Structure 1
Amino acid sequence: MKNILLLSMSVLLCSAFTTLKVEQNKDKGKINMMLDSWHKAAAEAKHDDYFNLMTEDAIFIGTDATENWNKTEFQAFAKPYFDKGKAWNFTALERHIYFDKSGKTAWFDELLNTQMKICRGSGVLVKIGKDWKIKHYVLSMTVPNDNVNEVVKIKAPIEDALLINLQKGER
């Protein structure tokens, strides 16, 4: 009797694990399509398509140290670009997607081909109903390790003043 119970429990656990993996693979496909659509909407300046893929409380962090926006602030920043008919054009070169145990939260990182050359995007997604939405996104420029010192020299005059203000608690 014990053996039958253990065998039944093992089958149920394997089935649940298999079901979870199948759902995660489906969700990875949905997430990849959603993120590709999000980037495409920016390239085509489709404002509503772009911002509808973000949660209402979304945060977007840009490449400049001062760019930490809620969705409303990011929309205000982006509006002139979308109004011109072309915002920015990012294409994923590589993407990794991960899930929490509930399957309702995912996070990702991606390498992007952009007008700034290779950038890195990373973010947090939440599942709302059957749809995935961006809750938090960070865009970073990559810097080859061999060129860090050169980049620091370029950044220093601009960011030294910002550092002082941030250390004082000012922005």
Structure 2
Amino acid sequence: MKHLLIAAATALMMHSALAADPDTEFRQQVNAFVDQWHDDASHTRPDYWDKFTPTAVFIGTDKSEVWSYTEFKAWAKRFWDRKKAWSFTAQKRNVYFSPDKKYVWFDEQLNTQMGTCQASGVLVNTGKGLKIEHYQLSLAVPNPLMDSFTKAIREHEAKQK
């Protein structure tokens, strides 16, 4: 009986917590959308591209990688042609949105083939679903490695001149 009461109390508290945050369902929708977008890339599904607005911007890890949707799609074509692109899985994500839920912004830490990366994005809620308007990916460089990392960048950039 004691276990039944504990289980009932736990269920009631969980239900109350969800009811206390009316935005839980919307956050879940946003997380599912971004997770699916990442999964589409890892499987080179065409749906990946349908999740962008026509005016979207994608910023990659290299300083030269500031692309319009069209430029990014052209750059990534080689990955879709060979059926092997990148694989990002969220370790954690924070989701924020405007009061009318028309605009969503998020930041995330990702498991990637490059190690842990960080990213941020802006979504627009079109009324027919979410679309990616802006996404920026960056390497998460641990602070103890920063001096050697920035030195390597300086040396690389000096050779480029």
TM-score range, shorter chain: 0.7 to 0.9
What corresponds to 1:45 in structure 2?
A: 44
* Distance across 2 between alignment mates of 1:60 and 1:158: 24
- Structure 2 letter corresponding to 1:32: N
C-alpha distance after superposition, 1:108-165 (max 9, x if no partner): 0000000000000101111011411110000000101011011012111333477x8x
Contact kept? 1:30, 1:132, Cα under 8 Å: no
Written as runs of structure 1 = structure 2, the 5 A alignment for 1:117-136 is 117-136=115-134
What corresponds to 2:86 in structure 1?
A: 88
What corresponds to 2:105 in structure 1?
A: 107
* Distance across 2 between alignment mates of 1:55 and 1:161: 37
What corresponds to 1:11 in structure 2?
A: none
Max Rg structure: 1
Written as runs of structure 1 = structure 2, the 5 A alignment for 1:123-162 is 123-160=121-158
What corresponds to 1:30 in structure 2?
A: 29
SS at match of 1:121: strand
Q: 2:53 aligns with which of 52, 55, 71?
A: 55
* Distance across 1 between alignment mates of 2:78 and 2:101: 37
Contact kept? 1:56, 1:71, Cα under 8 Å: yes
Once the two structures are TM-superposed, the CA of residue 85 in structure 1 deviates from its matched residue by 0.7
The 10-residue stretch of structure 1 (64-73 or 123-132) with the greater mean CA deviation from structure 2: 123-132
SS at match of 2:61: coil
| Runs of 4+ deviating beyond 4 Å | none
* Distance across 1 between alignment mates of 2:86 and 2:50: 17
* Distance across 1 between alignment mates of 2:90 and 2:122: 16
Contact kept? 1:104, 1:126, Cα under 8 Å: yes
SS at match of 1:64: coil
* Distance across 2 between alignment mates of 1:42 and 1:133: 15
- Structure 2 letter corresponding to 1:39: H
* Distance across 1 between alignment mates of 2:28 and 2:69: 25
Tell me the number of residue pairs that the alignment of Structure 1 and Structure 2 aligns. Answer: 144
C-alpha distance after superposition, 1:49-72 (max 9, x if no partner): 101111111000000001000000
TM-score for both structures, normalised by structure 2: 0.83
- Structure 1 letter corresponding to 2:138: S
CA RMSD of aligned residues (A): 2.0
* Distance across 2 between alignment mates of 1:30 and 1:85: 27
